[in-house]
Structure 1
């Protein structure tokens, strides 16, 4: 069964919230809602939405605070946000301040009144953009490595980091849960090594491509990883551009092997 796209709406006007929820649910979308910043933070982390529609919140500037929280949180910073601001006469009470509005990173900025039905085409367009991004799962037992890779990938408009894992067993679980397009897989890790995890992922998640990224770039590991189903192998000493080429290539089903001599 195909998974429904998930939309999270945050707004403190009950009538608008309900009308928008019904309009999107009529399009077979999975919709969750919140009326306060606290509810929204919990719900967004739990639901892991594809898009957040961030409307008005009282008191004023609460919406801006929620927006900043999302952009500072590694788990939510890449989620597209559609902002629906209060009309000018209500902006001091429940809307965004001028500075917040000028600095925000939103894919769309609208001002009430907005007809819920008019938002449906926009949401479908944004979902199409989200669906085309390459979903990547990073697997490495070193935090500094994962953070560095995430920082690089976050800068790419066509790539989205959907999760991280610190060992092979967790990688298999996350792959089944998140259905990434590409898994960046280290080899030497606790609990379950990357080769065993690659074998399991390739068997259980045939649509997911595994790209080995490790400091152990010897011929034996390369051959073994290919035998287990990996689509490519890149040493950690490779340039960032080569890593990006590898991710994009294997996401298209292309085999990728970086030469050992760098």
Structure 2
């Protein structure tokens, strides 16, 4: 079972993503967080395979958060999601495995998760 966390200030989109993840595969959603402070408190105490990050808000920068996650837990993968298509080009750095545009469907979420899990699996067993 893969363990994921979601950080998103928008409750509606994070709940949509959470429900899609729970319905799609062998995934445990460890938590949904609306701010980085609560997320970071929980993140340091949990083994997490994938973190979904809403890329930017007034309160935090998703890129900075992703770098901090990857530095402290190099095996954790990051998937950004946003409603801003223009941010896509800035997200593909090491350990950022994918990007979801906000109007994602369950099929897109499944495909993204499958690709991410494949990346994790390949890194673990090579």
Name the TM-score class by shorter chain.
Answer: 0.7 to 0.9
Moved over 6 A (4+): none
2:53 to 185, 208, 224: 185
How does the TM-score come out when normalised to structure 2?
0.81
Instruction: Tell me the distance in 2 between the aligned counterparts of 1:210 and 1:195.
Output: 10
TM-score scaled by length of structure 1: 0.42
CA distance in 1, matches of 2:36, 2:95: 15
Q: What is the Cα-based RMSD across aligned positions, in Å?
A: 2.0
Aligned-partner Cα distance in 2 for 1:196–1:170: 16
Contact 1:212–1:233, Cα closer than 8 Å, also in 2:
yes
What are the residue-to-residue correspondences of 1:138-177 with 2, within 5 Å? 138-177=6-45
2:38 & 2:92 partners in 1: Cα distance? 21
Contact persistence 1:213–1:235 (CA under 8 A): yes
- Retained in 2: the 8 A contact 1:168–1:190? no
SS of 1:178's equivalent in the other structure is: coil
The superposition leaves residues 57-105 of structure 1 with CA deviations (integer Å, 9 ceiling, x where unpaired) of xxxxxxxxxxxxxxxxxxxxxxxxxxxxxxxxxxxxxxxxxxxxxxxxx
The Cα shift of 1:188 comes to 1.8
Query: Are the equivalent residues in 2 in contact too, given 1:138–1:183 (CA < 8 A)?
Result: yes
Contact 1:202–1:208 (CA under 8 A) maintained in structure 2: yes
CA distance in 2, matches of 1:148, 1:252: 23
Instruction: Say which structure, 1 or 2, has more relative contact order (CA 8 Å, 6+ apart).
Output: 2
Q: How does 1:200-211 map to 2 (within 5 A)?
A: 200-211=68-79
The yes-or-no answer on 1:251 pairing with 2:117 is yes
Shift of 1:169: 4.1
Work out the CA distance in 2 between the residues paired with 1:249 and 1:174: 26
Q: Which is greater in Rg?
A: 1
Decide whether aligned partners of structure 1 residues 170 and 198 sit closer, same or farther in structure 2, where only a CA change above 3 A counts. farther
| Alpha-carbon separation, structure 2, partners of 1:227 and 1:217 | 17
Unaligned ranges ≥5, structure 2: 121-126
**Structure 1 counterpart SS, 2:108:** helix
Is the partner of 1:137 in helix, strand or coil? strand
Aligned residue among 85, 91, 98 for 1:232: 98
| Contact 2:21/2:109 (<8 A) preserved | no
